[in-house]
Amino acid sequence: NENLEIVLTCRLSGIENRDWEDIAVGPGPDPAKTYVYVADIGDNEGAYQYKYIYRFEEPLVSTPKADIVISAIDKIIFELPGEIKDSESLMIDHKTKNLYVISKREEPVHLYELKYPYSTKDTLTASRVMSLPFYQIVAADYDSKSGDILMKNYKNIYYWENTKNEDIITLLKRNPVQVDYEVEPQGEAIAWAIDGSGFYTLSESKKKDQSFLYFYEKRRLRNGRQ
């Protein structure tokens, strides 16, 4: 929560955390439900051919500091075309249910797509759909209400306002606004607020470096200001 208190811990039964990097929440097989997508897509050394996305129904937070075990989990196995690449960012298009992964250590980075319905039985190959003129993209998020998109690296945040109700690929062909950013120690997380009023950033834990939860108001983003 906004006080940095953990209110729900979900333990994924039988799942190994090789290098979890991002989480997306959005639609899935049952249109009446919402799902959590956990992206095991990090690969600092470029050693793993296959990446994994774990999908499960979004649980309800019923009591403070709850701790539950999730056993009903779908496993989406995929690879990126060409060379093995590190990646740290995941988004889901709430209209199409398509999943998007962004590579990290290239310049430019590339956007990859897994079109819905994606099999949970076969190994998939994501489609490379476009390049983006950035480097070291470490997090991204899609606003389900507005369709706006955020991406960040260690020094910058980029914001695409979706004024024309465009899909993700079409929107990302436009030039983003660069948001004034309070640089953090290893800042690798970004997420829209549930009500769409703005977004949060947070650091990974680093020894001797103090971390803070930052909030940026959306109404101040259009001109590149917090």
Contact 177, 159 (CB under 8 A): yes
Q: What is the pLDDT along the chain (226 residues), one digit of tens a residue?
A: 888 888 899 999 999 999 999 999 999 999 999 999 999 999 999 899 999 999 999 998 877 778 999 999 999 999 999 989 999 999 999 999 999 999 999 899 999 999 999 999 999 999 999 999 999 999 999 999 999 999 999 999 999 999 999 999 999 999 999 999 988 988 999 999 999 999 999 988 767 777 889 999 987 776 554 4
Q: What is the pLDDT of residue 11?
A: 96
Distance CA 153, CA 69 (A): 33
Cβ contacts of 185 within 8 Å, gap of 6 or more: 203, 204, 206, 209, 211
- Stated pTM of the model: 0.93
Structure tokens at 129: 């759909």
User: Which position has the token pair 């706006």?
Assistant: 148
